[in-house]
Amino acid sequence: MPTLDLEKPEQGPRVAFLEKADSDAIAETLVAFANTEGGTIIFGLKEDGEPASKKIEAPALEKALKAADTACNPPVVVGTWEQIESEKGTLFTLRVPRSIELHALSDGRVLIRSGVKNRPLGGQEILKLASAKSTGDYELEIVSGATMDDFSNKIITEYLTKRAERTKRPYNGKIADLMKEIGAVNDEGKATVSGILLFAEYPQHWLPQSSVVFAKFVGKTPRGENGLAGYTRREELTGPLPRLIENSWNLIWSEMAVSAVVKGLEREETYEYPQFAVREAIVNAICHRDYRLKGRRIEIRMYSDRLEVISPGGLPGFITVENIVDEHFSRNPRIVNGLFQWGYIEELGLGIDRMMEVMQQAGHKPPYFDARPYSFAVTLYNERERQKPPEWARNTNHRQARALQYIREHGSITNREYRSLCQGVSAETLRLDLADMVEQGILLKVGSKKGTYYILK
C-alpha cells in the first residue's frame, strides 16, 4: 500500500477522512475499501483535511468500530487502529486490506471506493465484482518448487533502491520479512506468482505465459503479399515484469517513426506516438493481464497506422470501457503496488486519464479500448488531425508563414531574427516580406532603424 503522508494528507481511492467515530460511516468505508483496492481510514479530519472541531476519544472509536463490524456482511478483517500525533493533532488510522470476499452492508448495499466517495454498485456490477472475487488472488498462489532463493539479488536491490526513492526512507529490516509483507513469498518462504513475476531472473521458466510478443507489420493488416505474414520484425521478450516494461518500450522506441518540425530557431523532433501513452499502455497490460490464462501472452502489434497492445483477460471486476477513466480495480494489486514502488506507475488510478490527455495534446485521436471476455486491447493511432491553417496563411508565402509562427511563439521578430530563420535568402527579400505584411495589416512595425521589431497587429 502506498506510503501515507500525514503532514499533507489528501483523500482519494485509498485514503478516507472521517470526522467523527460514526459506526455507519465506518461500516460503509470498510466495505468500500475491502471490495476495491484496500485503503487507510484517518479519523479526526474533515473532508478538506483540516482537524475535526471535536476531538475523537479512543473508547468512543473502539465502540464505533465494533458496531461497524456487525454491520458488514461478511465482517471485514482489519488490524488494530493506531494513534498518531501529527501537526493536525491527535489522529487515529486504520488500514483496511483488499479482501477476496464480496462484502455488503446489513441493508444489502454493496459499495466500492470511487475517487473520494463510497459508491453503491448496481445489480450487473455486483455480479461482475462477485465473479472477480470468486477467482481468488491468483498472484498469491504458490509456484510449485520455487522459493525465495530463486529471486535475483540484483533485482531485489534495484527494487529496494526505487522503493526508498518513492517512500523517502530506506528499508532497514530483513529482506525475507519484506518479501512476506508484499506477498512475494508465503510464511514458509515459498515463492508466490507475484514474487516470481517481479523478482525472478526468468519467470517464464515457471510461467511461460508471462512473456511479451512484439511484431511490426508493413501495412494496416497482419497479412502480407500472397497470404504470407506481413511482419518485418518479430521478437519474444522475457524476464521479470520491470524488464518486460523496459524492453517493450525500447523495442517500440527503436521502431517508432520520428519527424522534425522547426519552432522558432529550434529543430524539434516529433515522435509517432506520445511517449507517456505508449508506456502507459505497456504498463497497464503487464499490471492487469490475467496471468491465469496459460498459452496466451501479451501482444504488441505495430502497424503503419496504429499501435495495438493486447492483454489476455477481460476488464477486471466492475470496470467497463464506459467507466474505465473514473473507476479503479486491479486484478493483481500486489503486482500493481510493486511496480508503483518501482516507479513505473506515476500515480495509482490516473494513467488512463493522462494517456487520453497526451494523445489529444499531440493532435491524435483518443485511444480506442476494445474489451472482450478474454482480452483487452488499447489502440493508439499515429495520424494527427490536421489543423485548419489560420486566415493569414492564405495571403503569405512560406517564409512569411515561418515569421508569423515565430512571432506567435516569441511575441515579436526583428530583421536579424528573420534572417537567422531564413538563411540563404537575401536581406532585401526578407525586408520586402516584412513590409508586405505590414501593408496587408498583418504586422505592426515598432521602433526605427536598429531598434525595429514587428508584432502581430
> Tens digit of pLDDT per residue, the chain (457 long)?
444 555 567 888 889 999 999 999 999 999 999 999 899 999 999 988 889 888 899 999 999 999 999 999 999 989 889 998 877 788 999 999 988 889 999 999 999 999 899 999 988 889 888 888 766 689 999 999 999 999 999 999 999 999 999 888 899 999 999 999 999 999 999 999 999 999 999 999 999 999 999 999 988 888 766 666 678 899 999 999 999 999 999 999 999 877 655 555 555 667 889 999 999 999 999 999 999 999 899 999 999 999 999 999 888 888 888 888 888 888 898 999 999 999 998 766 678 888 998 898 888 899 999 998 889 999 999 986 555 555 655 678 888 888 888 888 888 899 889 988 888 888 889 989 999 988 888 888 888 777 788 988 7
Cell numbers found for residue 303: 502497424
Residue 322 DSSP SS3: coil
CA angle 299, 283, 204 (to 5 degrees): 55
Same domain, 229 and 351: yes
Same domain, 299 and 213: yes
- Which amino acid, 224? G
Question: Burial code of 180-203, b = ≥16 C-beta within 10 A, e = fewer?
Answer: bebbbbeeeeebbbbbbbbbbeeb
Q: What is the CATH number of the domain that holds 86?
A: 3.30.950.30
List beta partners, residue 298: 212
The domain of 50 spans 15-123
Same domain, 417 and 402: yes
pLDDT at 152: 97
Same domain, 95 and 47: yes
- Which amino acid, 3? T
Same domain, 165 and 312: no
List beta partners, residue 370: 377
Same domain, 358 and 398: no
Domain end call among 70, 91, 123: 123
Q: Are 286 and 194 in contact (CB under 8 A)?
A: no
Residue 186 DSSP SS3: coil
Tell me, yes or no, if the pTM score tops 0.85.
no
Domain end call among 59, 90, 123: 123
Domain end call among 381, 407, 432: 381
Query: What CA–CA distance (Å, rounded) separates 133 from 36?
Result: 10
Same domain, 275 and 363: yes
Same domain, 222 and 258: yes
Same domain, 72 and 150: no
The number of distinct structural domains making up the chain is 4
Q: Are 301 and 215 in contact (CB under 8 A)?
A: yes
Q: What is the CATH number of the domain that holds 353?
A: 3.30.565.60
Residue 411 DSSP SS3: coil
Q: Are 365 and 383 in contact (CB under 8 A)?
A: yes
pLDDT at 450: 76
Same domain, 336 and 427: no
Closest CA to 14 of 100, 84, 125, 93: 93
Q: Is 9 inside a domain boundary? A: no
Same domain, 356 and 214: yes
